[in-house]
Amino acid sequence: MTSPLGRVLIIAGSDSGGGAGIQADIKAVTAMGGYAATAITAITVQNTLGVHGVHPLPLDLIEAQARAVLDDIGADAIKTGMLGSSEVVERVAAILDTSDAPAVVDPVMIAKGGHPLLPDAAVQAVRTLMVPRAALLTPNAPEAEALTGLGVADLDGQRRAGEALLALGARAVLMKGGHVAGETVIDLLLTPTGETLLEGPRVDTRHTHGTGCTLASACAAGLAKGLPLEAAVAEAWAYVAEAIRRAPGLGRGHGPLDHGWPLRERR
């Protein structure tokens, strides 16, 4: 039964700097009016200057966290982020099969500073196991290229890659355009019945750490609240755009967004 609060189970890695990963996910879900629970896949040593260490957690511990949440609190949506290995992908896919909650799959592969977060060998596991289980898949251009083998340099490339990912089994794909050159950023939502463009001016800022994690979690929060897909994505997209504009300027590298701005607006 759906909770009025919108319960989101997040399966992802921890970011000690708080800008991405589990920390960003919790902030985004909370800001969007949902309830966040977590199953942490890895501990990272991370700040705005980069990832300085990654320490995976045991498979049984990852599953035990997820099972503890699902068996007691339950979930109206599940969001996956950094998985880190083929073995984790396989275990998380099995967890998804035990729940009826829609899965928002963010195929995290590379950190903002360029540190790889998913080995090449695990990309095939994401392609075959996670993509078909995604109610919504949220790749950026490099991730879509890795999953499909297609170039994504413009809107047509986004469309072709998105259609290929639908053919691989995703029920919907949000092709993020932040890595596509241009003064305008276009995210393209594709479903088997059509497409929706979400378009806005590119903000000239280095403070975009965790944008993908935040957007996927905000989408999951909307789905958990019972919003239709298009409405959930549009609400999440507007939230992230404003969070980028309000970024607090923390750190000497790729700084975090202002995840909490809606909470201050409600005071």
Q: Per-residue pLDDT tens for 55-111?
A: 999 999 999 999 999 999 999 999 999 999 999 999 999 999 999 999 999 999 876
The predicted pLDDT at position 181 comes to 86
SS3 content of the chain, % helix, strand, coil (to 5): 40, 25, 35
| Catalytic residue selected from 30, 38, 80, 211 | 211
Q: Does 210 participate in catalysis according to the annotation?
A: yes
Q: Check pLDDT > 90 for residue 182.
A: no
Percentage above 90 pLDDT, the chain:
89
* Average of per-residue pLDDT values in the chain: 94
Q: Check pLDDT > 60 for residue 1.
A: no
| Catalytic residue selected from 213, 214, 219, 255 | 213
* Confidence class for position 2, pLDDT limits 50, 70, 90: very low
Q: Does 211 participate in catalysis according to the annotation?
A: yes
Q: Does 176 participate in catalysis according to the annotation?
A: yes
| Catalytic residue selected from 44, 80, 148, 208 | 208
Tally of CB atoms within 10 A around 127: 19
Q: How much is the average pLDDT of 146-158?
A: 95
Q: How much is the average pLDDT of 225-241?
A: 97
| Catalytic residue selected from 79, 112, 176, 225 | 176
| Catalytic residue selected from 210, 214, 222, 225 | 210
The predicted pLDDT at position 124 comes to 93
- In 3D space, the residue among 167, 111, 116, 173 whose CA is nearest the CA of residue 139 turns out to be 173
| Catalytic residue selected from 177, 212, 222, 255 | 212
The predicted pLDDT at position 112 comes to 67
The predicted pLDDT at position 113 comes to 64
Q: Check pLDDT > 50 for residue 201.
A: yes
Q: Does 213 participate in catalysis according to the annotation?
A: yes
